[in-house]
Amino acid sequence: MKGNILIIDDNKSVLTALELLLQLEFNEVHTLKNPNALLSTLQQSQIDVILLDMNFKAGINTGNEGLYWLKRILETDASISVVMITAHGDVELAVRAVKEGAFDFILKPWDNNKLIATLHAALKLRASNKENLSLREKNKNLKQQINKPGQIIIGESIAMKKVLDLIKKVAATDANILITGENGTGKEIIAQEIHRLSNRNNEIMVSVDMGAISETLFESELFGHEKGSFTDAKESRAGKLETANKGSLFLDEIGNLSLSLQAKILAALQNRSITRLGANIPTSIDIRLISATNKDLDQMITDGFFREDLLYRINAITIEIPPLRDRQNDVLLLADFYLNSYANKYNKSKLSLSAQAKRKLLDYNWPGNVRELQHSIERAVILASEKELSANDFNFKCGNNTLKSNNGKLTIEEMEKQLILDSIEKENGNMSAVAQNLGVTRQTLYNKLKKYKL
């Protein structure tokens, strides 16, 4: 492991002796008699280790010059290993230099073997520092990639302006936030915006769909596990809470948790620590919690299905997202946004909505909210044969919850989709109950949701 060393000493004979000694130990040996050229040398050459004298002016032995240049070096590149060298045996001064960032110190006259061993150790530290800097940079870039801006929040209605004003007020705090609203209103987008505006936006936001985690995998997914803690634990893995440390944790569909799982989440939030499966030592966590649900948690508490103490933990601030039917001014704004997005995605020429199509969009009740509008626009763009979309390009549920196709008849797929939509509405988004009502497994249900883009 051979790096590059820079030796700075005002004694020419010392420089010559050290250069001869170290030329086989390092790839390059640079020498300076005057430290004034130190910073320019660092800019021009890749230096890993610096051997720095503590005194340069004749008759001055305070060591202040060495301490000054030590500080300047570390300001330029904190990963460089600096070894101080002094002829005066001032151990107290040398210890001060170490406290201020030097790797070690050597006394003149030096022992060659000890000097070489010290410089090799300094070189190893430099390599380790560079690797840590590289990992931190990669981690920073990864976080930036993960935290890329998601879907923007579109809305000029009074209802949405109130929501956006509230987000701006609470985002900079570390208060736990509960986002409520119907399915499809964009609760996760709101959570992303809160994280983006928070003081934790340089860290990641970890999203967890609580309704999609089975009870058997809950602890492993949320708290992590050690290698060998259960049959398939072939390697140690951090859980979602540990991964979100210093950042934000978004727990979607928190109302779907069983009481036993609610107790485990509550304990982690109260203790601000988690213990991996198979581990004995708890790990501290520092997270900003954002939760979301489409359920009435107060009613669930009354019915005995949700813990009151957990609700107090998660809802220091509650943000209720209005349904699309209460955001009439936003319907056409959203429609135009998705129209342009999908026209670009599917390489369609400039598309527009006819007056009749706009009227139809405004008259519809949007039970599936923004998500339904998005999927309706995407479908219309895919099937569009004209540059102007007409009212006939959009097919919605009527007031009696029947879905009409162009010829007034239902296909099998349309009927299946309608059954799923009706059951979701009936069960207020409880996917376990929906699957049970339809006589299918949860996985089959999620496959259908993906198929029909619900």
Are 353 and 317 in contact by the 8 Å Cβ rule? The answer is: no
Predicted TM-score (pTM) of the model is 0.60
Whether residue 32 is contained in a domain is answered as yes
For residue 401, pLDDT beyond 60: no
Q: Do 77 and 127 have their domain in common?
A: yes
What integer is the mean pLDDT of 181-197? 93
| Percent of all residues in the chain with a pLDDT value above 70, rounded to a whole number | 90
Determine how many CB atoms are found less than 10 A away from the CB of residue 358.
17
CATH number at residue 380: 1.10.8.60
Question: pLDDT: is 393 or 405 the higher one?
Answer: 393
Residues 170, 314: one domain?
A: yes
Per-residue pLDDT at 56: 75
**93 and 190 share a domain?**
no
Instruction: Give the pLDDT of residue 60.
Output: 56
Domain boundary at 320, 340, 367, which? 320
Residue-by-residue DSSP string for 111-178:
PHHHHHHHHHHHHHHHHHHHHHHHHHHHHHHHHHHHT---SPP---SHHHHHHHHHHHHHHTS---EE
CATH number of the domain enclosing 426: 1.10.10.60
Average model confidence (pLDDT) across the chain: 85
At 449, the amino acid letter reads: L
- Cβ–Cβ < 8 Å for 358, 313: no
**Tens digit of each residue's pLDDT (9 = 90 or more) over 124-140:** 999 888 777 766 655 65
Lookup: tokens for 307: 């813990």
Between residues 440 and 182, the one the model is more confident about: 182
Whose CA is closest to 245, among 198, 213, 283, 196?
283
Same domain (yes/no): 315, 179: yes
Same domain, 329 and 342: yes
Of 143, 168, 194, the residue at which a domain comes to its end is: 143
Q: Does 11 have pLDDT greater than 90? A: no
Phi then psi for 411, rounded to 5 degrees? Answer: -85, 170
* CATH, residue 81: 3.40.50.2300
Residue 108 within a domain: yes
Distances in Å between the Cα of 368 and the Cα atoms of 136, 375, 421, 430 are: 42, 10, 9, 15
The CA distance from 51 to 41, in Å, is 14
Mean pLDDT along residues 229-241: 81
- Number of domains forming the structure of the chain: 4
Top mean pLDDT of 41-55, 293-307, 381-395 is at: 293-307
- Structure confidence at residue 218 (pLDDT): 87
Task: Specify if 414 maps to a domain.
Answer: yes
Kindly tell me the number of DSSP H helices and DSSP E strands found in the chain.
Answer: 18, 16
- Domain presence at residue 289: yes
